[in-house]
């Protein structure tokens, strides 16, 4: 299993995207976003996506040179047109607009249309928390027809539809919630498939509607299941209507792309900011003070496992399974870009 340091990996992926037609600043920004997901342990949203992005460019679905812009706006609301470009670029513009409008008005809502895969939603809401704001994200993931079955169904209908939130925590790292409303993110199935590993029971059904632990069955026409049964189904449907229908551009949907809704709130618009920060800190302190259950060392706040993984991988490198690395290297060779040495 190759182990690659973050900076060389980001540089390598950026060169591949640039060779595929992306302006160097675009290529570098997308590469850094993918590697940032690997750094925090979400390999499903990391460089495993490189072949997917390049294939979308080759098919003419994604324009690597597109520049997102504010297409429509009204007070606290804005719509960002990604112009069929990289989703990471559009997401950064959208959350920036949402932050600015929330700082002026107390809250904001910004959608993204005509958007390719926008990466890990936690990355974007964390930017709101860094500005002292509360960030919420609803992302329709899997257009035009998602891979998740509705509760009680055996056919594809919904996206994996992540929900994310980041809440500032005075004097500490923000609380970051980011999860798919399916049993698992599709990218995690891809990682297991690339590694030749089985998956836990209860995540997917095969093409005939039978439970399976073989991730290949998903890619042979199977379906993901919603998390927590009917509750996950309801959440997925909610995200579909918010991040999908609300942010949709009929007739111009990018396969595998995202529709995104960001909502940002300024706590100071609702109550005294110092008192709010103190209450957040006190509540979190009570939660982590709960005695750990057998098999656990301590209670952690959402976002802490990712920060611990980042600390390790920043110093020791990012582990990539052989199949994922081989596919990326093939992409590099196709575009005339040499791979960095493993371990560098």
- Over residues 142-201, the pLDDT tens digits come to 777 889 999 999 999 999 999 999 999 988 999 999 999 999 988 889 999 998 999 999
pLDDT for 334 equals: 95
Q: List all residues 6 or more positions away from 165 whose beta carbon is below 8 Å from its beta carbon.
A: 125, 134, 135, 136, 137, 175, 176, 177, 178
Query: Where are the strands (E) in the chain, listed by range?
Result: 3-4, 69-74, 77-85, 107-115, 134-141, 163-169, 172-179, 204-205, 211-212, 223-224, 258-265, 318-319
Nearest partner of 223 among 193, 165, 184, judged by Cα: 184
Indicate the domain borders of the chain: 1-60+314-344, 66-182+227-289, 187-225
Same fold, 66-182+227-289 and 187-225: no
What 3-state DSSP class applies to 108? strand
- Over residues 48-97, the pLDDT tens digits come to 999 999 999 999 999 999 999 999 999 999 999 999 999 999 999 999 99
What's the mean per-residue pLDDT of the chain?
Answer: 95
Distance CA(304)–CA(70), nearest Å, equals 34
pLDDT at 337 over 80: yes
pLDDT for 256 equals: 83
CA angle 238, 55, 27 (to 5 degrees): 85
Tell whether domain 1-60+314-344 is in CATH 3.40.50.300: no
Evaluate if pTM is beyond 0.85: yes
pLDDT for 297 equals: 96
Query: What are the tokens at 72?
Result: 């429509």
pLDDT at 309 over 70: yes
Helix (H) or strand (E) run with residue 215 in it = helix 215-219
Crossing angle for the helix pair 6-19 and 50-58, nearest 10 degrees? 10
- Which residue has tokens 């927590």? 228
CATH for the 187-225 domain, from 3.30.1360.120, 3.30.60.50, 3.40.1360.10, 3.90.440.10: 3.30.60.50
What 3-state DSSP class applies to 77? strand
Alpha carbon distance, N-terminus to C-terminus of the chain: 14
- Over residues 31-56, the pLDDT tens digits come to 999 999 999 999 999 999 999 999 99
Percent of the chain with pLDDT over 90: 90
pLDDT at 342 over 70: no
Distance CA(44)–CA(52), nearest Å, equals 12
Q: Helix count (H) and strand count (E) of the chain?
A: 11, 12
Q: Count CB neighbours of 124 within 10 A.
A: 26
User: What is the band of 270 on the pLDDT scale with cuts at 50, 70, 90?
Assistant: very high
Query: What are the tokens at 277?
Result: 């920060």
pLDDT for 1 equals: 76
- Over residues 232-265, the pLDDT tens digits come to 999 999 999 999 899 876 557 788 889 999 999 9
Domain 66-182+227-289 - what CATH class? alpha beta
Strands 77-85 and 107-115: parallel
């Amino acid at each position: 299993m190759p182990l690659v340091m973050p900076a060389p990996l980001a540089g390598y992926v950026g060169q591949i995207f640039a060779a595929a037609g992306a302006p160097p600043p675009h290529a570098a920004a997308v590469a850094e976003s993918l590697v940032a997901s690997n750094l925090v342990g979400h390999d499903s949203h990391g460089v495993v996506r490189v072949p997917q992005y390049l294939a979308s460019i080759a098919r003419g679905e994604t324009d690597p040179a597109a520049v997102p812009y504010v297409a429509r706006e009204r007070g606290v609301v804005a719509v960002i047109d990604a112009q069929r470009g990289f989703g990471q670029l559009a997401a950064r513009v959208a959350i920036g607009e949402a932050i600015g409008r929330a700082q002026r008005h107390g809250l904001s809502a910004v959608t993204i249309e005509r958007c390719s895969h926008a990466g890990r939603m936690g990355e974007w809401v964390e930017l709101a928390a860094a500005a002292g704001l509360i960030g919420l994200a609803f992302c329709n993931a899997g257009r035009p027809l998602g891979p998740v079955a509705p509760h009680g169904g055996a056919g594809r209908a919904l996206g994996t539809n992540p929900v994310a939130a980041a809440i500032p925590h005075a004097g500490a790292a923000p609380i970051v919630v980011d999860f798919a409303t399916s049993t698992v993110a599709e990218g995690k199935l891809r990682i297991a498939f690339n590694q030749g590993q089985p998956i836990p029971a209860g995540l997917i059904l095969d093409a005939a509607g039978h439970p399976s632990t073989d991730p290949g069955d998903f890619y042979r026409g199977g379906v993901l299941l919603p998390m927590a049964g009917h509750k996950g189904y309801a959440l997925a449907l909610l995200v579909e209507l918010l991040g999908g229908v609300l942010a949709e551009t009929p007739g111009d949907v990018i396969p595998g792309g995202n529709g995104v809704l960001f909502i940002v709130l300024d706590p100071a618009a609702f109550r005294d900011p110092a008192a709010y920060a103190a209450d957040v800190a006190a509540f979190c302190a009570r939660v982590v003070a709960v005695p750990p259950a057998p098999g656990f060392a301590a209670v952690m706040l959402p976002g802490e496992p990712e920060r611990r993984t980042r600390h390790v991988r920043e110093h020791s490198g990012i582990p990539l399974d052989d199949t994922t690395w081989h596919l990326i290297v093939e992409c590099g060779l196709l575009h005339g870009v040499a791979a960095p040495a493993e371990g560098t």
